[in-house]
Amino acid sequence: MKPDRETEIKLPVPGRRPVVKCLAPLGLAVVEARHLERNCVFDFPDLRLSKSRHLLRLRRAAGVYLLTLKGPPRRARRYASRAEFETRVENGPLLCQIFAKLGLEPVFRYEKYRTLFAAPSQTRDHRRPQVAYDETPIGDFLELEGPEKWIDRIAARLGYAPRHYITSTYLALYLRKCREQGKKPANMLFRRRRSSS
């Protein structure tokens, strides 16, 4: 099986800009409504996957589990590009048990609320160019995924220049935020409200 290759960038969203209003004139409509994603990155105790710049992630969103293996990033000028294998998984908890038996353990958990936008299409192709609006515990971002020329065109129409492009992962962005704030890194999770008794 040949992996897909994803090419993407992130763009910072200052404050809470009306993202939907900005994307609609570009011919982009909501294809997945706002939903919570829970992500868990797995590695061996010696962090061999991280050291070889691979990423193994299990994501849960809307009751669906998605397993992703990403290869080492290849920086194509100002874009993040890497090979990606991705498949749905029926039983996420069982897969976690299998990982544990193989010596894999959770090394980073992160959450985000995601709204996915794309141009209307007759077919549901997960590889078509898309924009994700991600609300995370460390700020809001737009993630543009598609051909480089498409990314440049959409970013420019939204008022961004190449100097605004971010190619870091959410883990790298989180670790940088922790350093800036002098906090010890843990997991990038939303604070839970305590239920009143």
Asked if the 4-181 domain carries CATH number 2.60.120.10, the reply is no
Q: What is the pTM of this model?
A: 0.89
DSSP state of 152: H
Q: How many residues does the chain have?
A: 197
Domain ranges of the chain: 4-181
Sign of CA dihedral 147, 7, 132, 14: negative
Q: pLDDT tens-digit profile of 62-74? A: 999 999 999 998 8
122: left (phi over 0), alpha (psi -120 to 50) or beta: alpha
Q: Give me the mean pLDDT over the 68-82 stretch.
A: 86
Please, are residues 86 and 66 in contact by the beta-carbon 8 Å criterion? yes
